[in-house]
Amino acid sequence: MDNLLDLIFKATSVEPRYDEDLCLAAGKSVACTSCRDACPHDAITIRHGSAKAVEIDSVDCSGCGLCVQACPSQALEGRVSIERGAASLRCSQVSGSAASVHCLGRLQPSDLLRLAGSEDSVRLARGDCGSCPVGTAAVAEASLAVRDQAVELARLHGRSLDIEVVERDRLEQTRNADAVSRRELLRGGWRSLRVRTGDMLAPLDPGDDVASLPAEMQRRYRVIAAAAPQQEDPVPWSLPRVSDECIMCPACVKACPTGALERVFEADGDGVLKLQPDRCVGCEACMSVCPVGAVSMEESVSWSELSGGQQEAYRRDAGRERPGSVPR
């Protein structure tokens, strides 16, 4: 009986997945409490530096997803299944025939792109978040932030995506994007319609994820790459910049949860801080732990920089030592 109850409980579990390898609180250098601070139900306990630094109480967790939105390193991932091209989605507090998700706070930008499919508009319906037993008024604000990110990604593909977040008691299913009318076939042909539908969906198909990296980060990268931007085009990504104040200590490298930073000392004595841009999640851990304030985050990133592979973030010539620098 206990085993049966355990299986039922796991099947209905709403708490997010936790990857301790990506968690900033699991290290000893960053005192991150973002998920705990965002949780409206006190369901999260943090033990800094332990193997499993974040513990989520499966009973107290309502599954609102606010901790997922707050996590800077994307160590938390919501359990969401989105129907491709459904175009309409309601939270569990809204009735109707539209597809549903437990809480809109669980959604990520890639979820909204999949929801849109080839449609140019998406409607999200929520209940009264302020009085909701699942989330709080913060869910409404988080939904708008995710909407803006999805719109920005769609704009890279030349699409003007209208995502409406409304408070409703009921939401019915709209036309499915996969349903092809005779008029659509006559206007553009099946091949052009298939291409239009697939442009935004192909980068989100499963199977290409790297296990050590956050899934949402990888999906966003594939969406950007699928837009085939020009080398000089700006893209929605953040990367660290390292100033000449750098003393080549290992603090930023140790704090980075994805291994985007690497410290190398070459044969001639030069010290090099290397950056793998597509592994950077923008968590700002490197900036927060730098003892001399040499690291800042830059939101103006070109496609050539993001897609160019490993590069030098900083180089210190062997003959140019600074007070406080770390010898080889």
CA Rg, the chain, in Å?
22
Query: Which has the closest alpha carbon to 313: 274, 282, 256?
Result: 274
DSSP SS3 for 123: strand
What pLDDT is attached to residue 105?
A: 94
User: How many CB atoms are closer than 10 A to CB 169?
Assistant: 12
Prediction pTM value: 0.83
Residue-wise pLDDT tens for the chain (328 aa)? 544 444 344 446 789 999 999 999 998 788 899 999 999 999 999 998 777 899 999 999 999 999 999 999 999 998 888 888 888 999 999 999 999 999 999 999 999 999 998 889 999 999 999 999 999 999 999 999 999 999 999 999 999 999 999 999 999 987 554 444 445 445 554 444 344 444 454 444 444 567 789 999 999 999 999 999 999 999 999 999 999 999 999 999 999 999 999 999 988 888 999 999 999 999 999 999 999 999 999 998 999 999 999 999 999 886 655 545 544 4
**Long-range contacts (CB closer than 8 Å, 24 or more residues apart) made by 321-325:** 322/247, 324/247, 324/292, 325/247, 325/248
Copy the structure tokens of residue 40. 């409206």
**Long-range contacts (CB closer than 8 Å, 24 or more residues apart) made by 181-185:** none
Query: Which has the closest alpha carbon to 108: 17, 241, 228?
Result: 17
Residue 56 CA to residue 208 CA, distance in Å, equals 28
How far apart, in Å, are the Cα atoms of 318 and each of 94, 207, 275, 315? 64, 44, 20, 9
Question: Which amino acid, residue 43?
Answer: A
What pLDDT is attached to residue 322?
A: 53
Residue 118 CA to residue 132 CA, distance in Å, equals 32
Residue 195 CA to residue 271 CA, distance in Å, equals 48
Q: In DSSP terms, which residues pair with 264 in a beta bridge?
A: 272
